[in-house]
Structure 1
């Protein structure tokens, strides 16, 4: 990992570490907004208060949370796929030799160039592994967060406060990174492949080739940098979400 950082900085400067920032932001706007919005809406619809009780309604059970997170993740994967392809390509561009780089100026320039050169279908290259990854990510991240939060409050006697949110989101980040690692490897290889490389290669064929060449070690290749990225991201996301919901309830008098 440090060798990769060094290679990028030597050949592209410090700004090379931020290649794909516009694509990453576009991905969050399309992918994360869609999956979080659908998940919270479905969860709220399935959380029915008891009119005879003054206690807050209990959240849905684990199986229900897994079901709604699967639906929201799948839809979010489709919505965010074009930006995700661009994000992967722009980030990998800095590590390629100069003659092999695509040199997209920003995410929108890259989307236009991809459509012109490779057709509209290229925007959804890797959509199935990406949607599978989105399902796994949403289920392992959102459903596990709600489950860990419930355990912290009911089993460990913690209050519904910042400490609980931090603890539950840290554990959710660990689970999400581990569950999604194999799919991330497959998704990245498909999205960075040239049209000639990807032609005639199915996902099953790619899996067979990787296992033959690299063994099972490929499943967790890049786990540490993934956790370094996803762990803080998960913590920041859920802490912000909880504070946002708290402020919203206060403003609405809920």
Structure 2
């Protein structure tokens, strides 16, 4: 990819992912509910309130109204803006420094950029997860935090748990985003370059970015889903007066407890909605990002 200034990539990357978030947030709501369903309970010992993508979307709409499908959207946009501005800025700096030209450089750059982005955006993701889990008592899964708004949630967490409480669960988020970011950026760049080499499509066509994004989406969903389940559980668990999680002691403890009590397959809970969310989100994000970069470079190319 031809470079653009890192400061511009910061804006373009965040804008692209926010556009994608608006379209895919209903799938994120369903995915969150499915991942919390049956928490720390053996298979078959709990009522399955949410079953599959279409049925679960209908369930959410009946319980919370059509607006319920966009629960946590404001927090989601805040998360996408914060996380991806840091992520794309860091990735762009790495590419500008020539790291992407080294063997495995795009993977390393994507992972480091993802870790930074996950840390920056963690408070917003915490609130997003808790808001999306909230519903009427009859359809509730996971702990119910009873937040009224994004700002109200941030204020409540700050008041009850202090500054560190806003980054509770970041230990699960950083590995999740590191893996996903490395897979997304590396496979997108590689797939896009391969499609261009085959000359099946015009080099400047948006379809090239679409093809790269489709390949990238599969890789992201496969590697991210287990860590995504863990991250959702860590962010949504209740805490004691000291701000310590009451269900899990951290990433490793959560992984072990899920596998022991729910079986290893529980790490892929919500895989269908996860892919249907991550797939379109990855494709849309990458296509929007690529096209916005093209538009940003157009005045310079025109002058040339």
Same fold (TM over 0.5): yes
Q: Does the CA-based 8 Å contact 2:157-2:166 persist in structure 1?
A: yes
Matched with 1:53 is none
Q: Deviations over 1:140-185 (max 9, x none)?
A: 1011100111111224654322121111101101110111010000
- Which stretch shows the higher mean deviation, 180-189 or 120-129? 120-129
Q: Is 1:37 aligned with 2:89?
A: yes
What is the TM-score when the length of structure 2 is the normalising length? 0.74
Q: Which of 49, 74, 92 does residue 22 from structure 1 map onto?
A: 74
RMSD: 2.2
Matched with 2:222 is 178
Q: RCO higher in 1 or 2 (8 Å CA, sep ≥ 6)?
A: 2
The DSSP-based 3-state class of the residue aligned with 1:43 is helix
Q: Is 1:146 aligned with 2:194?
A: no
Counterpart mapping for 1:98-113 below 5 A: 101-113=144-156
Task: Return the offset for 1:247.
Answer: 1.6
Question: C-alpha distance in 1, partners of 2:208/2:108?
Answer: 24
The DSSP-based 3-state class of the residue aligned with 2:263 is helix
What is the TM-score when the length of structure 1 is the normalising length? 0.87
The DSSP-based 3-state class of the residue aligned with 2:202 is coil
Matched with 1:250 is 298
From the superposition, tell whether residues 61 and 145 of structure 1 become closer, same or farther in structure 2 (CA, over 3 Å): farther
Question: C-alpha distance in 1, partners of 2:189/2:135?
Answer: 38
Question: C-alpha distance in 1, partners of 2:119/2:145?
Answer: 24
The DSSP-based 3-state class of the residue aligned with 2:249 is coil
Q: Does the CA-based 8 Å contact 2:258-2:267 persist in structure 1?
A: no
The DSSP-based 3-state class of the residue aligned with 1:154 is helix
The DSSP-based 3-state class of the residue aligned with 2:165 is helix
The DSSP-based 3-state class of the residue aligned with 1:94 is coil
Task: Return the offset for 1:203.
Answer: 2.6
Task: State the aligned residue count.
Answer: 243
Matched with 1:50 is none
Q: Which residues of structure 1 form unaligned runs of 5+?
A: 48-58
Counterpart mapping for 1:12-161 below 5 A: 12-46=64-98, 60-61=101-102, 63-94=104-135, 101-155=144-198, 157-160=200-203, 161=205
Q: Does the CA-based 8 Å contact 1:8-1:95 persist in structure 2?
A: no
Task: Return the offset for 1:118.
Answer: 2.4
- Which stretch shows the higher mean deviation, 152-161 or 106-115? 152-161
Task: Return the offset for 1:192.
Answer: 0.6
Matched with 2:256 is 208
Task: Return the offset for 1:190.
Answer: 0.7
